Amino acid sequence: MPRPVTVFIGLGSNLAQPLLQIKAALTALSKIPQTTFIIDSGYYSSKPMGPQNQPDYINAVAKLTTSLQALSLLDQLQIIENKQGRVRTQHWGARTLDLDLLLYGDEMIHHPRLTVPHPGILQRDFVFLPLLKLVPSIEIPGCGKLKTLINQPLINNSDEASMNYAATYQGNL
Ligand code: A4P
Ligand code: MG
């Protein structure tokens, strides 16, 4: 059995009772084979990134350890998304559940199905705020300390980052 790897999953929902969707997804994450649920960040509300004619989001980040390979973990995440009624329509459009593999140990993965670290981490406050809440000193492989990176003006001037999604901590609802 390979040594467990610490991973972080980003959760997002803005349809069909988003808070319940996120709660159900956290329960489902805790049942993934060869995987242990460690902690979640609590819930954050945020304005939509992408098309604005969609409801606000609930976001969270979960920390797990797993003995699954990264692609097998992605398979499990997609099974959970599909079970919770995810239909892929518009890019960045409304969804019942989005599960992103943010970090897989200290690995950098470039695969047609999987890019890790997730390329949106630094630009999305609804991802980096919960991540920093869980691990204030967290490092992004290939980049450096997250806390330092999000304060660099170059990164925060990119198109996506020029929007502030105003992620707001809602506690453990
Ligand atoms: N894929 C590659 N790398 C990864 C990864 N690290 N984790 C591939 C998960 N999947 C990864 O994803 C498309 C494909 O990406 C997958 O099949 C997988 O093989 P998708 O979720 O089907 O496609 P998408 O939703 O059109 O794109 P994407 O990039 O996943 O959307 P995002 O970036 O996740 O953004 N606004 C707020 N406030 N909060 C949100 O959570 N989320 C989105 C979706 C838009 N606006 C939002 C939020
Ligand atoms: Mg996604």
* Segment 24-62, tens digit of pLDDT: 999 999 999 999 999 999 999 999 998 888 899 999 999
113 is catalytic: no
pLDDT tens digits for 65-122?
999 999 999 999 999 999 988 666 667 777 889 999 999 999 999 999 999 999 999 9
Per the structure, the count of domains in the chain is 1
The whole-model pTM stands at 0.92
Over the range 99-134, which residues count as b (16 or more CB within 10 Å of their CB) and which as e? bbbbbbeeeeeeeeeeebbbebbbbbbbbbbbbbeb
Assign 154 a pLDDT band (cuts: 50, 70, 90): low
Q: Is 124 a catalytic residue?
A: no
Which one from 100, 113, 125, 159 is the annotated catalytic residue?
A: 100
CA distance 138 to 65: 16
Residue 161 pLDDT exceeds 50: no
What is the model's pLDDT at position 157? Answer: 46
> Residue 57 CA: which ligand is closest?
1
pLDDT confidence of 150, banded at 50, 70, 90? confident
Amino acid of residue 65 = T
Ligand 1 atom with the shortest distance to the CA of 113 = 19
* Residue 88: active-site member: no
**CATH number of 45's domain:** 3.30.70.560
86: containing domain: 5-171
Residue type at 114?
L
Give the distance (Å) from ligand 1 centre to CA of residue 101.
9
In contact, 82 and 62? CB cutoff 8 Å = no
